[in-house]
Amino acid sequence: MELVQALIRKVRRLRMNIIKNFLPENIPCDTKQYFDKGNPSVITIHWIGPYPSQSPDDVRNWWIKSNGEASAHYIIKNDICMQCVPDNKIAWHAGCKVGNHNSIGIEVIPCDEAGRFSDKSINTLKALLDTFPKMPVVRHFDWTGKDCPKFYCNSDEWNKLLKRLGR
Ligand SMILES: [Zn+2]
């Protein structure tokens, strides 16, 4: 059964055409740590901030250039899904150890400054989440109270989004 699930996941990912562009090693935002057994067990959703004009490359370059302690596994904008950290490695996105050590981080570039996700981004996010079928989906907000993803900190908007994501 597990083998079948792994195969389904692989096919779904192939269909998605994820751009693999891992962050270079030996920079501060590469934690060099691998998840413990049983993890990651949760997905954490973020927005990159009120910068709708940014591209996934801009976000990735910013992580590298700023030398900051920030990274995430995926960046989504419309049809583009870029993977920056492998699924078996810990990234720094949740603002707390328990969040980082348990979850995959997905950054979505919003389509406006209020932080809404475009329909295309929601479709791409759904396709990506479908490759993690049994994992609960939470917000950065749920870990630390940070207003991220901003527009969806409102629980009505979050519940509507979850419904569209089939969760
Ligand atoms: Zn966040």
Write the pLDDT tens digit of every residue in 10-55: 888 888 989 999 998 877 667 789 999 999 999 999 999 999 999 9
| Å from CA of 29 to ligand 1 middle | 15
**Predicted confidence band at 68 (pLDDT cuts at 50, 70, 90)?**
low
Distance 95 CA to ligand 1 centre (A): 8
Q: How are beta strands 42-47 and 137-139 bridged, if at all? A: parallel
Q: How many CB atoms lie within 10 A of CB 20?
A: 8
Q: Mean pLDDT, to the nearest integer, of 129-137? A: 92
pTM of the model: 0.94
Query: Per residue in 70-108, pLDDT tens?
Result: 899 999 999 999 999 999 999 999 999 999 999 999 999
Report CA(7)–ligand 1 centroid distance (Å).
Answer: 31
Cα 27 from Cα 67, distance rounded (Å): 7
Q: What pLDDT, on the 0 to 100 scale, is given for residue 29?
A: 67
Enumerate domains of the chain plus CATH numbers. 2-164 (3.40.80.10)
Sheet hosting strand 19-20, strand order edge to edge: 19-20, 80-83, 74-77, 103-108, 42-47, 137-139
Q: Which residues have CB atoms below 5 A from the ion given as ligand 1?
A: 46, 140, 148
